[in-house]
A and B are shown apart, each in its own frame.
Chain A
Amino acid sequence: MKILIHLLLTFWLALPAAIAAPLASEILAASDAIRNPGKPFSVTVTLTEFQAGKQVDTSTLTSYSRVQRQGGDFASLIRFVLPLRDAGKLMLKNGNDMWFYDPASKATIRLSPQQRLLGQASNGDVATVNFARDYAAALAATEEIKDGERRTRMAYKLVLTASTEGVTYPGIEMWVDAENSRPLKARFFAESSRLLKTVYYRRFQSQLGAERPTETVIIDGLNPQSVTIMRFSDYVARDIPPTWMQRDFLPRFQPE
């Protein structure tokens, strides 16, 4: 009887919040729409790596992204710009279809998700991803957190569980600003529930028609002293044909 009363009380107390809060899937979709422009685009990505607070490396890429089909996931073609030894090399990520192309050796190599080309950042970190497509979201809490600018924000905490095969992270916790659906923070977990990394989204600026995060801070889950900052600049809407996003196009790619 006690348990029944407790359950009813919990349900009664949680009911107003449940009615007031939008659906978790809607929160996630709105957050995706802020991170990702709704049309094909290119963006310059500057990666800065830190160890124990000291900058140890920097590299620059240009990413060309588009949704491959209606409701589908993004595909990204990434061109290495700096350092000079890597300039012109290409990486293609179209879901689990990942390729690396070196114009010097003309070699096109299939990559597994575990193969990293970008220092501490995973290949998926620089590609554009729609979480709402690949994950089922549940609203776990509405709570205050520190955002990427270290300001206190009221946020929806979403728990994302992979709903499609072949996603890079089986589980994600994501905090979305309750006021404006901006993604604020995410924690990415391995199958073993080990924390792989914590990501903060910050420096929101107007880009391609919306206020979008122009920096993500990636903190390694095992070694928090290992940090990568990805800065996104020079967003440009582009006509990117779907035929770009395949292996056989890579030798033909010519940067514009």
Chain B
Amino acid sequence: MNTSTHAVVCSCFYALSLTVTPALAADDEMDALSLESAPEVEPTAPRNIKWFAEGAWGSASQRYLPDSRNIGRASIDFSYASRLAPGWRAVVSDRLDYFEPALAGSDAAVNSLREAYLSWQPQGTDSVLELGRINLRYGPSYGYNPTDFFRDGSLRVLTTADPFALRENRLGTVMLRAQKLWSGGSFSLAYAPKLEDQSSTHGWNLDLGATNNRNRALAVLGTEFSPKLSSQVLVYQESGQSATLGFNMTALLSDAATAHMEFTRGSEPDLQSRALGVAAPAFTRNRFSGGVTYTTTSKLSLTAEYHYNGFALDQAGWTTLSATPGAPFIYLGEALRLQEIAPRQAYLLYLTQKDLGYKDLNLTAYLRLNPGDDSRLAWLELRRHWTNFDLSLQLQQNIGSASSEFGILPDRRVVQVLGTYYP
């Protein structure tokens, strides 16, 4: 085929495509217009009660024992919110988990009364007053939230390694809270009194000792500078310590990208002293978490975060601690209880993919990296949605040398299948 013939053939194909494509598109559009919407849902009052039941079964291969261990869990998750009278609202949220075998140092059945509070908003005002156990959460980061000041001690049980799902199980703190809203901003004050000295391992205990073991107060000023930039300034004070200042911010970078950061500066003993119960002077240090989320048109979202905890051990300190048998476990346990990162610096990659090759099949995965010892925690979940039921497969792998943060953990690999029923 010579050049001129080729050009003529190409022109014909091009002309043909111009005439055929709109015709095809028009046919598709007419086909689409013959489709009918699903029936409308009859207008009903919003449901006050929401609950679901979940079962999990799996296996964990152990680092220090030859055999794998089976793990099982059954859970009921319940929440209730209702308008009692004009301006008055009641909220109750509870979760019951039954573990087989029971978690170390805990009952097999563990109840978590997450929230129970009354809310009063005087008619025609933008102010609200709340009293009771409230789950008050701040901070836009995914894996580490320095400005989430009421996070420590709030997890009674660990049912997942997913940092997002973990937040759903946490206990609120008993407090009196007032908030005033205006266009583009808000100010809130919260006071949480000391009610108990110690946390309880009894399964049916309200565990006020976990969340209200000292007097605490928090003031938060929220400001939306523009549609692309918002921030919160926080001042936190607890008995026996100087005030901690906090700041967080989120920004829209482009059609596909957002950024977030959190920063706190305060004085307290270092994490190792707190974990080992050693009296130590308070130091002034920073905590920081910041990252970027990018979303593609194919519904893939990737978040990369950097975490810094000035109170945590650096690599040299961790190496020294590892020389004392048992001490690293106490340190890591305390970091987990306080929801702190254990190393001085860490990275997180968090990925979600909706409709992974199949509608309603979602992938969530993350990787935590400790750059000091190069240990990693990798976690992955495949979740398939049906109308009233979810089926999930979760895999967790703790990777690293024997003395590293993740390499020291008793479970090397955890595989779980979960079924969740939404009635």
B and A form one assembly: yes
Residues of A near any B CB (own CB < 8 A): 44, 46, 48, 50-51, 53, 55-58, 60, 68, 79, 81-85, 87-88, 94-98, 103-116, 146, 148-150, 166, 168, 198, 200, 202, 215, 217, 219, 224-225, 227, 229-231, 233-234, 241-243, 246-249, 252, 254-256
Q: Which of the four size classes fits the interface of chain B?
A: 35 or more
- Chain A residues lying within 8 Å of B119, measured Cβ to Cβ, are 252
Give the distance to chain A from B271, nearest Cβ to Cβ, in Å. Answer: 25
Known: A105-B165, A112-B258, A255-B46. A94 touches B227 (CB 8 A): yes
- B35 close to A233 (CB less than 8 A): no
Give the distance to chain A from B378, nearest Cβ to Cβ, in Å. Answer: 22
Question: Is B281 engaged at the interface, CB distance under 8 Å to the other chain?
Answer: no
Give the distance to chain B from A253, nearest Cβ to Cβ, in Å. Answer: 10
A115 vs B253: C-alpha distance in the bound complex, in angstroms?
13
- A242 close to B255 (CB less than 8 A): no
- Which one of B165, B168, B181 lies within 8 Å of A248 (CB-CB)? B181
- B168 close to A166 (CB less than 8 A): no
Known: A50-B35, A246-B224. A112 touches B252 (CB 8 A): yes
Give the distance to chain A from B348, nearest Cβ to Cβ, in Å. Answer: 15
20 examples of A-B residue contacts, CB within 8 angstroms: A44-B40, A46-B39, A53-B35, A56-B359, A98-B252, A105-B165, A106-B135, A106-B137, A110-B252, A111-B258, A112-B256, A112-B257, A112-B258, A114-B295, A114-B296, A116-B299, A146-B33, A166-B227, A231-B38, A248-B222
Give the distance to chain A from B46, nearest Cβ to Cβ, in Å. Answer: 4
Question: Is B186 engaged at the interface, CB distance under 8 Å to the other chain?
Answer: yes
- Chain A residues lying within 8 Å of B423, measured Cβ to Cβ, are 84
Question: Is B41 engaged at the interface, CB distance under 8 Å to the other chain?
Answer: yes
B164 nearest CB neighbor, chain A only: A105
- B140 close to A252 (CB less than 8 A): no
A255 nearest CB neighbor, chain B only: B46
A236 nearest CB neighbor, chain B only: B43
- Chain A residues lying within 8 Å of B390, measured Cβ to Cβ, are 85
Question: Is B67 engaged at the interface, CB distance under 8 Å to the other chain?
Answer: no
Give the distance to chain B from A89, nearest Cβ to Cβ, in Å. Answer: 11
Instruction: List 17 additional contacts besides A83-B387, A87-B50; criterion CB under 8 Å.
Output: A44-B40, A51-B359, A53-B35, A57-B359, A82-B41, A87-B47, A111-B258, A112-B295, A114-B255, A200-B32, A224-B28, A246-B183, A247-B230, A248-B188, A252-B179, A254-B83, A256-B83
A218 nearest CB neighbor, chain B only: B32
Known: A53-B31, A112-B257, A113-B255. A84 touches B422 (CB 8 A): yes
- Chain A residues lying within 8 Å of B167, measured Cβ to Cβ, are 105-107
Identify which of B119, B251, B260, B359 gathers the most chain A CB atoms within 10 Å of its CB: B359
A203 nearest CB neighbor, chain B only: B37
- B33 close to A200 (CB less than 8 A): yes
Of residues 251 through 268 on chain B, the ones whose CB sits less than 8 Å from some CB of chain A are 251-258, 260
Known: A48-B38, A88-B50, A247-B224. A110 touches B140 (CB 8 A): yes
Question: Is B274 engaged at the interface, CB distance under 8 Å to the other chain?
Answer: no
- B35 close to A248 (CB less than 8 A): no
- B38 close to A225 (CB less than 8 A): no
- B37 close to A229 (CB less than 8 A): yes
Question: Is B388 engaged at the interface, CB distance under 8 Å to the other chain?
Answer: yes
A243 vs B222: C-alpha distance in the bound complex, in angstroms?
13
Give the distance to chain A from B294, nearest Cβ to Cβ, in Å. Answer: 8
- Which one of A146, A148, A219, A246 lies within 8 Å of B184 (CB-CB)? A246
Give the distance to chain B from A171, nearest Cβ to Cβ, in Å. Answer: 15
Q: Interface 1/0s, chain B 122-138, versus A by CB < 8 A?
A: 00001010000001110
- A96 close to B227 (CB less than 8 A): yes
Known: A60-B41, A105-B164, A225-B28. A254 touches B255 (CB 8 A): no
Known: A114-B255, A114-B256, A255-B46. A46 touches B35 (CB 8 A): no
Q: Interface 1/0s, chain B 79-93, versus A by CB < 8 A?
A: 101010000010000
Known: A96-B228, A246-B224. A112 touches B254 (CB 8 A): yes
A79 vs B35: C-alpha distance in the bound complex, in angstroms?
26
Give the distance to chain A from B30, nearest Cβ to Cβ, in Å. Answer: 6
- Chain B residues lying within 8 Å of A51, measured Cβ to Cβ, are 359
Known: A105-B167, A107-B164, A219-B28. A95 touches B227 (CB 8 A): yes
Identify which of B37, B46, B293, B359 gathers the most chain A CB atoms within 10 Å of its CB: B37
- B387 close to A108 (CB less than 8 A): no
